[in-house]
Amino acid sequence: MTKKIVLLMSFVLSLAMVLSACQPAATPTTAPATEAPVVTEAPAATEAPVVTEAPTPVPPTPTVDVMAQLIEAAKKEGTLVSYGLPDDWVNYGQLKQMLKDKYGIIDQDTDMSSGEIIAALEAEKTAPVADITDLGLNYAKIVEDEQLSQPYKNSHWDEIPDWAKDPDGRWSAAYWGAIAFTVNADIIKNVPQTWDDLLKDEFVGKVCMKDPRSSATANMVVLAAAIAKGGDEKNVQPGLDFFKQMIDKGILNGVKPSVANIQKGECPVSLFWDFDGLSAKKENPNMNIQVIIPKDGTVAGVYIQFITAGAPHPNAAKLMIELEYSDEGQLAYANGFVHPIRTSVTLPADLLAQFPPEADYSVVKFPKDYKALDAAGTAISDGWALIQK
């Protein structure tokens, strides 16, 4: 092959390669296997609906004023029937007057002891009479067992300690007091400061208390002594042993403590609640009455409130409960010298000054097992009968 022919062939081949490079690449008919598919529009199932105009606004649900409805219903009932809420007990007189002044509801009270209240509620189950009452925490188990109450949780329910209320709302505590010595210091020169002080010869025939078998207060007095002597609601024997010494020495004089008996000088030393003593002190400003929280220990008495199971005036009862737990109601209790269960309620300085110093209450024990407290009451009553012999 001649050199000219070779050059001609080489030129033709080069021209073909140049022309091939200038042509556009062929468009593939399908995407490569590793390439993500191209989506040109969203699937119908996931496509948001097109809103062409704003939806018609829905008016808010009206707020129901539950308290206003309760007040209206209670006013229609117009009456509250209570057991064991006398005017002079922890300032119930003022609370009932508030109920009347604010809502026009009249209270009809029958003064009863705790045992009488329980008996009446049980006897009247088929034809209820009472709407509301007030009992010691030690009766909470009976209230539950005998189904004597109906559930209701007041507006301040969350502020009540868990141990001081039934989780289902069948009862709750509104206030507490402490067992104390109320001493007429015009007669007693050496004012007792401890339980052991009461065993001194100078107190023979000068100490008053009720019978623990019939008085819930006296029953708690024995428990207070038990606590001071190392016992508790599950071991009341130290308290019974202490009072056995009191009886053997003739220290108890058999007179029931009361404001009248203190005034007459028949009860130089009274064993009952601090609020009883403080009330006596206020009523007799010319007497040197001292209320002593025993330094070796004592017990708190917590009082529960509830609406009776078949309350004829349930709305009036609920309104009374609301009043008792309100700021105004808790302050009314404090003016009866008991301690409000709601610690958020601030007491005026002049009122606090009428109580023993707050530090004195540091020795007060709160029994929180109401079932054990119920059993303790029975043990004290049974044990008292034995130490009398």
* CATH code for the domain of 110: 3.40.190.10
Instruction: Establish if 80 belongs to a structural domain.
Output: yes
Residues 200 and 330 in one domain: no
Number of domains in the chain: 2
**Same domain as 310, residue 262:** no
Residue 365's pLDDT band (cuts 50, 70, 90): very high
Query: Is it the case that residue 48 has pLDDT exceeding 90?
Result: no
| 364: helix, strand or coil | strand
Q: What was the pLDDT predicted at 214? A: 87
Q: What span, in angstroms and rounded, lies between the C-alpha atoms of 280 and 258?
A: 8
Give the residue among 211, 196, 191 at the shortest CA–CA distance from 268: 191
223-275 pLDDT, tens per residue? 999 999 999 999 999 999 999 999 999 999 999 999 899 999 999 999 999 99
Evaluate if residue 304 carries a pLDDT over 70. yes
Same domain, 184 and 273: yes
pLDDT at 114: 87
Based on the fold, state whether residues 191 and 289 are members of the same structural domain.
yes
DSSP for 63-115 reads PP-HHHHHHHHHHHH-EEEEES--TTSTTHHHHHHHHHHHH-PEEEEE---HH
- Domain identity same for 239 and 294: yes
Q: How many residues can be counted in the chain?
A: 389
- Domain assignment present for residue 61? The answer is no
Q: Which residue has the higher pLDDT, 43 or 283?
A: 283
Provide the 3-class DSSP secondary structure of residue 339.
strand
Q: Are residues 308 and 169 part of one domain?
A: yes
Residue 192 and residue 155 share a domain: no
Query: From the DSSP assignment, how many helices (H) and strands (E) are in the chain?
Result: 13, 11
pLDDT at 87 over 90: yes
Domain-located, residue 36? no
Higher-pLDDT residue of 289, 6:
289
Q: Is 59 inside a domain boundary? A: no
> CB of 171 within 8 A of CB of 157?
no
For the chain, give the percent of residues with pLDDT over 70.
83
The pLDDT value given to residue 60: 54
Task: With respect to residue 373, please indicate whether it lies within any of the assigned structural domains.
Answer: no
Rounded CA separation 19/79 (Å): 113
Quick check: is 259 in a domain? yes
User: Could you report the per-residue pLDDT of 142-189, keeping only the tens digit for each?
Assistant: 999 999 999 999 999 999 999 999 999 999 999 999 999 999 999 999
Which domain range does residue 347 map to? 66-175+301-357
Q: Are 249 and 291 contained in the same domain?
A: yes
SS3 48: coil
Residue 24 has pLDDT above 90, yes or no: no
Going by pLDDT thresholds of 50, 70 and 90, the confidence category of residue 388 is: confident
Residue 5 domain flag: no
Integer-rounded Cα radius of gyration of the chain: 40
Tokens for 280, please give them. Answer: 């006596």
Based on the fold, state whether residues 185 and 332 are members of the same structural domain: no
Sign, CA dihedral 127-129-132-136, equals negative
